[in-house]
Amino acid sequence: MISSIVAVLRRYREQAEITQQELSEKTGIKLRTLQRFETGKTSMTIAHMELYMKALDITLLDLAVTVQTGSYSKTGQVESAAKLLPRDAQEKHLQFLISIGKALKK
What's the pLDDT score for residue 106?
58
HSE-up (13 A, CA, CB side) for residue 49: 20
Length of the chain: 106
| 2 has pLDDT over 80 | no
Under a CB-based contact definition with an 8 Å cutoff, are residues 19 and 73 in contact?
Answer: no
pTM: 0.68
Q: What is the pLDDT of residues 57-90, one digit of tens each?
A: 888 878 887 887 777 766 666 666 666 678 888 7
Q: Alpha carbon of 80 to those of 6, 22, 38, 62: distances in Å?
A: 25, 31, 30, 12
Over residues 15-40, the pLDDT tens digits come to 999 999 999 999 999 999 999 999 99
